[in-house]
C-alpha cells in the first residue's frame, strides 16, 4: 500500500511537471504571474497596502496555473502548476474555493485584453474587496439600463468632459470644472429616480479597483494622460454602463489623491463624491438648473449630442 501511495504521488508530480512543459503558453503565463509579483513588491516597498495577495487561477488547455497550492500541483517559482481540479474546469469567474473567493479565468480570455497585467491586477483588487472588505458582488452585476437613453448618456459624457478638464487645469479652474461635473451628475440623477444609490455604490466599488490597478502599473503622468484622453479605451465601450463605475470612479479617485498629495487611503466604502466635495470645498449655492444648458456649452455639448444622435441612427 505504501508503494502504491508513493507511485501515486510520483505520477501526480510528473503530470504537473508535464503540464508546464508541454504547454506552449506556459512561459507567457509565468511572465504574467512574475509581473504581478513585481507589482506586489513595489507596493510593499512604497508602504502601500498590499491588495494583491488573493487567489487566482489561469486555465490553459489541460493545465492550471495558480498563485496558491492545489491538489496535485507543483511549485515553480511561486506559481503552482497542475491538472485543474474538476471545479476549476466548470467555472469561469468567481469560485468559492478553500474558504475564499477565487478568480478562474481562461488564458484565451486574457489574450483578448490589451494589457494582461493590468486586467489581472484589477481582478485581484476585486477579490480583495470580496474576501477582505466583504462587499456584495451582486451590486456590481446590477445594470444601469437607463444609460441606454440618449439623455442619460449625454449628461454622463458631459460629467466626464468636466472631470477631464478638472484633471488638466490649474487649481482655481479645477474647482470650477469639478463643480460643473457634479452639477451635471446631480441633474442626471434627478432625471432618473433612485439612480443615485446604485451609481454611487458602483462608483466606489469599481472606481477603487480601477484606480488602484492603474496606479500600481503606471506613473502619475501616464495615469493622468490615460484619464484625459477621450479616445482612450478607458472611456469607450459598446455599453456605457460597463465603464461607468470604473472610469468615473478612477477620475474622482485621481482628483482626491492629487488634492491630498498621495496621502489618502481608499477602500470600497469610500464615498468618493463626499470626499471630493470636502477636499475642494465645493459650493453649489450659486448654481441653478436653469443655467445647466448654458454651462454645458463649455464642455462640448453640441459635439456630444451629435455623437449620441449618430449612435441612434
Q: What is the pLDDT of residues 35-44, one digit of tens each?
A: 988 887 776 5
pLDDT in 10s for each residue of the chain, 313 residues: 545 454 444 444 444 445 544 578 899 999 999 998 888 777 655 545 567 889 999 999 889 999 999 999 999 989 999 999 999 988 888 899 988 889 999 999 998 887 888 889 988 888 888 888 887 767 666 778 898 899 999 999 999 999 999 999 987 799 999 999 999 999 999 999 888 888 888 898 888 889 989 988 899 899 999 998 866 555 555 667 778 888 999 999 999 999 988 777 777 778 899 999 999 998 777 678 888 999 999 999 999 999 889 888 7
CA distance 93 to 123: 10
Q: Are 82 and 73 spatial neighbours (Cβ–Cβ below 8 Å)?
A: yes
Q: What is the pLDDT of residues 216-256, one digit of tens each?
A: 889 989 999 999 886 655 555 566 777 888 899 999 999 99
What does the pLDDT read at residue 273? 92
Q: Are 184 and 176 spatial neighbours (Cβ–Cβ below 8 Å)?
A: no
Contacts of residue 91, defined as CB under 8 A and 6 or more positions apart, other chains included, come to 104
Nearest to 85 by CA among 12, 18, 14, 22: 12
Amino acid at each position: 500500500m505504501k508503494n502504491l501511495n508513493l507511485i501515486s504521488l510520483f505520477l501526480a508530480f510528473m503530470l504537473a511537471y508535464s503540464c508546464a512543459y508541454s504547454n506552449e503558453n506556459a512561459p507567457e503565463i509565468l511572465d504574467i504571474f512574475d509581473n504581478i509579483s513585481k507589482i506586489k513588491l513595489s507596493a510593499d516597498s512604497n508602504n502601500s497596502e498590499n491588495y494583491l495577495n488573493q487567489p487566482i487561477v489561469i486555465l490553459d488547455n489541460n493545465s492550471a496555473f495558480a498563485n496558491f497550492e492545489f491538489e496535485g500541483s507543483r511549485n515553480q517559482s511561486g506559481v503552482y502548476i497542475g491538472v485543474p481540479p474538476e471545479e476549476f474546469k466548470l467555472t469561469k469567474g468567481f469560485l468559492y474555493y478553500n474558504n475564499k473567493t477565487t478568480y478562474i479565468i481562461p488564458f484565451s480570455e486574457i489574450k483578448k485584453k490589451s494589457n494582461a497585467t493590468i486586467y489581472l491586477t484589477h481582478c485581484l483588487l476585486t477579490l480583495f474587496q470580496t474576501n477582505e472588505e466583504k462587499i456584495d458582488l451582486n451590486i456590481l452585476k446590477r445594470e444601469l439600463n437607463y444609460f441606454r437613453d440618449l439623455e442619460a448618456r449625454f449628461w454622463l459624457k458631459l460629467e466626464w468632459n468636466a472631470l477631464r478638464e478638472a484633471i488638466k487645469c490649474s487649481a482655481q479652474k479645477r474647482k470650477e470644472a469639478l463643480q460643473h461635473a457634479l452639477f451635471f451628475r446631480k441633474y442626471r440623477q434627478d432625471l432618473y429616480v433612485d439612480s443615485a444609490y446604485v451609481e454611487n455604490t458602483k462608483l466606489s466599488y469599481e472606481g477603487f479597483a480601477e484606480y488602484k490597478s492603474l496606479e500600481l502599473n503606471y506613473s502619475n503622468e501616464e495615469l493622468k494622460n490615460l484619464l484625459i484622453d477621450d479616445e482612450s479605451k478607458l472611456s469607450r465601450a459598446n455599453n456605457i454602463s460597463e465603464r461607468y463605475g470604473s472610469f468615473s470612479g478612477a477620475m474622482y479617485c485621481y482628483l482626491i489623491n492629487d488634492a491630498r498629495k498621495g496621502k489618502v487611503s481608499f477602500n470600497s466604502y469610500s464615498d468618493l463624491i463626499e470626499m471630493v466635495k470636502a477636499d475642494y470645498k465645493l459650493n453649489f449655492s450659486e448654481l441653478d438648473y436653469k443655467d445647466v444648458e448654458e454651462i454645458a456649452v463649455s464642455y462640448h455639448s453640441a459635439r456630444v449630442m451629435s455623437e449620441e444622435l449618430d449612435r441612434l441612427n
